[in-house]
Amino acid sequence: AKIAIEICDGVMVHSLLGQLKPGDIPAEVRQEAIAVLIDKYFVKNTVVQSGYPLDMRYAGPREALLHALFRQNYGCSHLIVGRDHAGVGDYYGPFDAHHIFDEIANNALITQPLKIDWTFWCNKCGTMASMRTCPHEAADRVLVSGTKLRKALSEGEEVQDGFSRPEVLEVLRRYYASLQEHEKVKVELSGHSAR
């Protein structure tokens, strides 16, 4: 989100609040984690958090277009489209959601995509980076994946540095610690998420 603030007046973190797939982090927990992140790590009055009452569709590229249209209706000029946007497993390629914006007619949408490459924590840079901004070797990189994070937290494992801010991890750890055994979902790593 910080990259968007460099080119836009502000950022709206616009979470889907509806039905998710089993094992995903519930909306109220995501909202709390985002609020902590905004409060601790962003310049005041540059980020607003909002929600949209829609079930996640996991429709990859087509859902990215739908997300852009929703954000356009909210007045947003841009939409951050990262790796595997709205995808599930390996059904879509990691950047299919980027490519679909190249296939629609010019000016079909006012909201334009900010296409973000693979992102990771770079141990040498000491910060988050992308393939376009970091020259270091793969051995220096910790690929950040929501699936990897959910797996580590659900299994009570340590989370590697760079996966998330400590205050955000505290919110997520508290949620996972509160789950009863019958509420837990086994998280499997495969394809893109296993890298």
pTM of the model: 0.84
CA distance linking residue 158 with residue 136, whole number of Å: 25
Check pLDDT > 80 for residue 190.
no
Please give the share of the chain, as a percent, with pLDDT higher than 90: 59
Segment 133-145 mean pLDDT:
91
Question: Which has more pLDDT, 11 or 88?
Answer: 11
Confidence of residue 168 (pLDDT cuts 50, 70, 90): very high
Segment 175-188 mean pLDDT:
79
Window from 31-35, 146-150, 185-189 with minimum mean pLDDT = 185-189
Q: Spell out the domain ranges in the chain.
A: 118-195
DSSP letters for 113-175:
EEE---EEEETTTTEEEETTT--S-GGGEEE--HHHHHHHHHTTPPPPTTSS-HHHHHHHHHH
Segment 121-131 mean pLDDT:
91
Looking at domain 118-195, its CATH architecture is 3-Layer(aba) Sandwich (3.40)
Average pLDDT, the chain: 89
35 beta partners: none
Segment 76-91 mean pLDDT:
90
Q: In the prediction, which pLDDT does 184 show?
A: 73
Confidence of residue 20 (pLDDT cuts 50, 70, 90): confident
Q: End-to-end alpha-carbon separation of the chain, Å?
A: 23
